[in-house]
Homo-oligomer: A and B are copies of this chain.
């Protein structure tokens, strides 16, 4: 077996890999759905089309993940089923009330998802590692989102405080639902604990995710 970035000798079980792919796939599908809906909040057609473009790119990622799930001999629907409630609840509890909240949600979601993909990719064997790395959000997307958020803050300072609070709520909800998804899924829990090495290493992984998030928020003017 090819080596992975996890502790020596750790090779994730087929079940672990398939559960991870299922979670990521359903995440992409719902991200498409909600970003498509959020694009209607745009103040003009150009921005609306830009958000629609971000949504559309999630579908290509969904297809890549679903294809791999089928290749491994599973049905995407079955594999995604255990994660549907957690992912749906995350989105239901964080429906943006306006365009700016939609931008921040897209940015925070993309960025944390980017970091998470990069971290868990290390626990996988080469083929799946490449797949999970390959469905990372496009950096050009983040550029559009960052530019728009910065412009909005520079026009109205009160906006920064409101959006910083919103970003905190997004991360809180994401962590709550991620814990729920993991506790409903033995294979996924195994992958993260055994891939990271032990529970302490999982704690460090979570700290890296939240630290990176905090730094990004600071960089775009949303003090955390």
Chain A residues within CB distance 8 Å of chain B: 26, 29, 32-33, 36-37, 39-40, 44-46, 48-49, 52-53, 55-57, 59-60, 62-63, 66, 76-77, 80
Contacts and interface: CB of A to CB of B under 8 A. Distances in A.
B49 A66 contact: yes
Contacts of A40: 33
Contact of A36 (B37, B45, B46, B53): B37
Contacts of A29: 45, 48-49, 52
Nearest to A79: B45
Question: By DSSP majority rule, is chain A's interface helix, strand, loop, or mixed?
Answer: helix
A214 to B, nearest CB: 32
A57 B56 CA distance: 8
A174 to B, nearest CB: 21
Contacts of A32: 36, 52, 56
Number of copies: 2
23 contacts: A29-B45, A29-B49, A29-B52, A32-B36, A32-B52, A32-B56, A33-B39, A36-B37, A36-B55, A45-B76, A45-B77, A45-B80, A46-B66, A46-B76, A46-B77, A49-B59, A49-B63, A49-B66, A49-B76, A52-B62, A53-B63, A55-B56, A56-B59
Contacts of A48: 29
A79 to B, nearest CB: 10
Given A49-B66, A56-B56, 15 more contacts: A26-B45, A32-B52, A32-B56, A33-B36, A33-B40, A33-B52, A37-B37, A45-B76, A45-B77, A45-B80, A46-B76, A46-B77, A49-B63, A53-B59, A56-B59
Contacts of A62: 49, 52
A97 to B, nearest CB: 19
A108 B57 CA distance: 25
A121 to B, nearest CB: 23
Contacts of A37: 36-37
Nearest to A54: B59
Contacts of A59: 49, 52-53, 55-56
Nearest to A34: B36
